[in-house]
Amino acid sequence: MELTKLFARTILDSRGNPTVEVDCFVEGIMVSRAAVPSGASTGAYEAIELRDGGNKWNGKGVEKAVENVNEIISPKLIGLDLSSPYSQELVDEILLELDGTKNKSKLGANAMLGVSMSCLKASAVLGEIDCWEHISYIMDTKPSIPVPMMNILNGGAHASSDVDIQEFMVIPHGFDNYKSALRAGTECYHSLKSELKKDGLLSGIGDEGGFAPNLPTNEHGLQYMVRAIEGAGYSTDEIGIALDVAATEFYTDGKYNFDQKKISGEELGEIYSGWADEYPLLSIEDPFDEDDWDSWNLLTKKIGKDCQIVGDDLYVTQVKRLQKGIDTSSSNSILVKLNQVGTVSETFETLKLAWDSKFSTIISHRSGETSDTIIADLAVGSNAGQIKTGAPARSDRTSKYNQLLRISENLFNYSTPFKR
């Protein structure tokens, strides 16, 4: 079954910015479609997302990336047999060869990923299996439903508030199935709304659907998370807390501007350590700047036995960066985002390296999302164990949670990466 055409277009993401969508045609029939997400707080080492610049769309147009798919990539992939389970590797090899740069700056990671994901989906359709099953077959894994990390309180670059920490998440890990976990996390979301309203702090929401109040300190966010969990009728033994600090966003001249003070990495690490003792803190993502390797190492040594130390901007889903983190014991977990690296096959490679090194893995959305649900299939098919995809609100986030509900109707293996 041969690929006969790829067609890309501009669509809007959840922030109202343009992004790339790619349709894949086999034997003249459109069999799959993929839409590319986009981040707000991005790592310096991510693959390059091609934007047009100029005045249209405030410089964020993607017509050049769309043109690259339609005029450069599509002609090179026509005739490729997508019915082979090994076609994904060939598709991505051709993409990398066509681009020829280290950071995807020629064709654009948004153009390349749109094609890579659409071809992955097409192969699943041709094989008459679900996308998660196709991924599991390629990666040779035992698929499982991931534990959700649900972002219910937003700050940092994802909100217009005075909170430095970008995401406060609930992890409903103490449940026997995904449906129960999703319900518990969603009830915490509504409980938080009630707690904030009670204190006159209910205002807007952030890019990922979480509430975005102004708070006196970052620690107040943790206090509200505990109130939300207990207010929903759960214990902190059943539902833990995760943070995405996104510390690169407030790191300047070797100091962290945190709670309106300039502090060192060592001082910030002491704050995290204290929180880990006082709160049900199971995971801290990007606690330091993406090049502050020493601070990462110190924190991992100090609390890494009991807490996930997650590299996002630190690793940007790149094998080379991850290998450095492994060699220097800089963390024990990696956040995986397809668009940070730009192809499906490279994402698989990063996941395999993480598992070989006993790292935990989290499949993640971006703050600029679409209704595409491929990350749900990726989390299941790869047996990643955890998924991070925003608040249980707004269709760009709930589409992923709902896809996991559908999958869980036929797949009963539910991940339990945290101690109960």
| Annotated catalytic residue 388 | no
Q: What is the pLDDT of residue 420?
A: 39
Q: Do the domain assignments include residue 338?
A: yes
- Tell me: do 91 and 164 sit in the same domain: no
Q: Do the domain assignments include residue 18?
A: yes
Task: Please give the mean pLDDT across all residues of the chain.
Answer: 95
Q: Do the domain assignments include residue 289?
A: yes
Pick the last residue of a domain from 128, 151, 167.
128
Q: What is the pLDDT of residue 419?
A: 55
Q: Do the domain assignments include residue 36?
A: yes
- Tell me: do 180 and 242 sit in the same domain: yes
Whether the CB-CB separation of 172 and 409 falls below 8 Å is answered with no
**pTM for this prediction:** 0.96
Q: What percent of the chain is modeled with pLDDT above 90?
A: 92
- Tell me: do 116 and 217 sit in the same domain: no
Q: Which residues pair with 21 in a beta bridge?
A: 9, 35
Q: Tell me the average pLDDT across 180-206.
A: 95
**List 46, 208, 249, 346, catalytic entry:** 208
Q: How far is CA 367 from CA 28, 33, 259, 379, in A?
A: 34, 20, 23, 18
Q: What is the DSSP string of 205-255?
A: B-TTS-B----SSHHHHHHHHHHHHHHTT--TTTEEEEEE--GGGGEETTE
- Tell me: do 316 and 198 sit in the same domain: yes
DSSP class of residue 7 equals E
- Tell me: do 122 and 153 sit in the same domain: no
- Tell me: do 175 and 248 sit in the same domain: yes
Q: Which residues pair with 170 in a beta bridge?
A: 150, 241
- Tell me: do 256 and 153 sit in the same domain: yes
Q: Do the domain assignments include residue 271?
A: yes
**List 337, 346, 369, 400, catalytic entry:** 337
- Tell me: do 12 and 34 sit in the same domain: yes
| Annotated catalytic residue 337 | yes
Backbone angles phi and psi of 27, in degrees to 5: 50, 40
Q: Do the domain assignments include residue 379?
A: yes
- Tell me: do 119 and 154 sit in the same domain: no
Q: Please say if the pLDDT value at position 197 is more than 90.
A: yes
pLDDT tens digits, residue range 268-294? 999 999 999 999 999 999 999 999 999
pLDDT tens digits, residue range 322-377? 999 999 999 999 999 999 999 999 999 999 999 999 999 999 999 899 999 999 99
- Tell me: do 223 and 248 sit in the same domain: yes
Total domains, the chain: 2
Q: Tell me the average pLDDT across 315-321.
A: 97
The CATH number of the domain where 151 resides is what?
3.20.20.120
Pick the last residue of a domain from 84, 101, 128.
128
- Residue 123 belongs to domain spanning: 3-128
Region class of 233: left (phi > 0), else alpha (psi between -120 and 50), else beta:
left
pLDDT tens digits, residue range 43-71? 789 999 999 999 999 999 999 999 999 99
Q: Do the domain assignments include residue 356?
A: yes
| Biggest CA-to-CA distance, the chain | 62
* Residue recorded with tokens 């204290």: 274
Q: Do the domain assignments include residue 419?
A: no
- Tell me: do 244 and 112 sit in the same domain: no
The CATH number of the domain where 73 resides is what?
3.30.390.10
Give the residue with greater pLDDT, 256 vs 43: 256
- Tell me: do 96 and 146 sit in the same domain: no
Pick the last residue of a domain from 128, 149, 181.
128
Structure tokens belonging to residue 406: 């559908």
